[in-house]
Structure 1
């Protein structure tokens, strides 16, 4: 996505003409201390300040408006204005976004963000617009790792016979299956109980989510697989966007760009803090031999490169290797 930067005084000037007050709703599914929630509130506070109080954003957190799937549907019908959502659910509308979750594609989040902030991100934004969403930013949901309560996961063979929870994310499901395990889709809000009851043996999540949800209380082994990067799409309803004036759109876009930079920085620090906290928690943390996992998950690439979104996915894969 092409960034739009405006000096603060210029943004404030856009808000000077007297226009009707605007109230927008913003939904997310995480707790108040999560980077996604903190950046959502930062967006709301900044937009209110830059508009001189004329535009306010009601932030509805903790899945109070529904889960990510429900919020995307609400964006399409106009009952919700903005959402800090998830890559997996959005892929049902925009399959191209799955490119950024392919296994072991990126060594660092900055590699993915470089592509998202350029022409490949602009193409993704256009595809999202066709599905009824306005892309305001590609936020960072962190890098995902596996945990379980059976044994350390040091090599692909260790996954055999285990059941892993996955979100509504087709690439995550493909990765679990490629490693020889069974994928079970469970809502994040029900994950702790599912692990506690041994409905599933393990799960995969960024360290932030793992620690914030206290999953270390119901898991004994954490493997730092770093198998998948994940975007948090910051998206707006096209209906709500079209109702704004050109000046208000420019202001909102500038504030969204600022909030994207803020959220990414928050995520990096939160992941570091979560890692230190998990080290202190006593959970057994292991590292993997990456080449064996890369080889085991090659079939995932074959599937997605040969699919309907294959041309775009190939561009992302090739650009990631540059």
Structure 2
């Protein structure tokens, strides 16, 4: 935290002219909605700027993992990142609250909330640590995959070695379910699963399919246990160094590419199940009430730490 604030301060002091090249970094591989939308972002931004800037899209964690990309954005090494909820929560804890178990009924409900007051509150907090949130893309409602069995009820998770993103909320959810969760960077997940380090993992169907995780962990339980966003963040130093017209182009490109990204994520939830079944995956639905009851303690923990924000989230989600 102190390092990020220090880097943000030095970047702001350095100022500097608007960069001719804009680096937009992310961790997704080809076929993932985040990857496709980043390419769309480059097209939209370049067109809006009339060719005044060029965009270098750096995918597949070529600029480091999500945490490293956030540090690079704050330091001015890159300009923007399509990042992840867990890493953002490490420096802005309120981001993690978006993943409270079973908070949202569906994706549109989450998007509506993020495009409103809750999103503005998160941006305000991010700016205090040197980051500007320019929009929210999607990272889906998440489900569990296992190497050898379906998770029919909470008891089936007891002792399960499950990979989570570097996100304390996800760890708390699975600890409440009796699992043995361990965080690991997304880029390292396929090899870790193949090596037998984990019994399984959790992700939205779009991520599972694009990374071919259903080939390694073919038992898919539609738990829908939490939601995650993909925050699009800029280094605050760079953001404040560009003029209003350029800022408007950033916002416009993020919004237009976000429409595509959200659409692909939503369509994936609707269409990927039969495709994955054809490729050998076994699916099962669950009685979510039992899982909600088993994870109720997670709400208690975070309501004690962030009472007003949890209250605002629950109200925005219609709970």
**Cα 1:77/1:169, change in 2 over 3 Å:** same
Count of residues in correspondence between the two structures: 303
8 Å contact from structure 1 (residues 22, 54) kept in 2: yes
For the residues of structure 1 that align with 2:247 and 2:290, how far apart are their CA atoms? 48
SS in 1 for 2:159: coil
Q: Give the Cα separation in 2 of the matches to 1:143 and 1:225.
A: 9
Structure 2 residue corresponding to 1:233, chosen from 200, 218, 231: 231
Matched with 1:30 is 28
Which residue is 1:315 aligned to? 312
Shift of the alpha carbon at 1:20? 7.6
User: Can you list the C-alpha shifts for 1:60-106, whole angstroms capped at 9, x where unaligned?
Assistant: 00110011011011111111110000000000111111121111111
Secondary structure of 2:121 counterpart: helix
Residues 259-298 of structure 1 aligned to structure 2 (within 5 Å): 259-298=257-296
Report what 2:5 is aligned to: none
For the aligned residue pairs, the C-alpha RMSD in angstroms reads 1.6
Q: Indicate conservation of the 8 Å contact 1:99/1:317, yes or no.
A: no
Confirm or deny: 8 A CA contact 1:20 1:54 kept in the other structure.
Answer: no
CA deviations 1:185-223 (Å, max 9, x no partner) are: 222222222222221111101111111111122213110
The answer to whether the Cα contact below 8 Å between 2:135 and 2:255 also exists between their aligned partners in 1 is: yes
Aligned twin of 1:106: 104
Deviation at residue 21 of structure 1 after TM alignment = 7.0
Distance 2:109 2:218 in 1: 31
Name 1:201's counterpart in structure 2.
199
What is the distance in 1 between the residues matched to 2:155 and 2:139? 28
Counterpart CA distance in 2 for 1:267 and 1:20 is 33
Q: Structure 1 stretch 151-160 or stretch 192-201: which is displaced more? A: 192-201
Which stretch shifts more, 82-91 or 24-33?
Answer: 24-33
Alignment of 1:189 onto 2:187:
yes
* Structure 1 equivalent of residue 245 of structure 2: 247
Which of 217, 221, 224 is the aligned partner of 2:222?
224
Residue of structure 2 equivalent to 1:72: 70
Q: Is the 8 A contact 2:101 2:225 kept in 1?
A: yes
Task: Indicate the residue corresponding to 1:174 in structure 2.
Answer: 172
Partner residue in 2 for 1:131: 129
Deviations 1:243-298 (A, max 9, x none): 11122212222222222222211221233343232121222211111110000000
> What TM-score do the two structures reach when normalised by structure 2?
0.91
Corresponding residue to 1:41 among 39, 42, 58: 39
TM-score (norm 1): 0.90
Matched residue, 2:11? none
Preserved contact between residue 35 and residue 270 of structure 1 (Cα < 8 Å): no
Distance 1:151 1:259 in 2: 37
> 1 CA distance for matches of 2:85 and 2:213?
21
1:140 aligns with one of 134, 138, 141: 138
Residues in 1 aligned to 2:186 and 2:115: alpha-carbon distance in whole angstroms? 29
SS at match of 1:135: strand
- The residue correspondences of 1:151-170 to structure 2 (distance < 5 A) are 151-170=149-168
Whether the 8 Å CA contact 1:195–1:201 is kept in 2: the answer is: yes
Whole-angstrom distance in 2 between the partners of 1:220 and 1:48: 41
Q: Distance in 2 between matches of 1:67 and 1:262?
A: 24
- Are 1:21 and 1:54, in contact at CA under 8 Å, matched by a contact in 2? no
Unpaired runs of at least 5, structure 1: 1-18
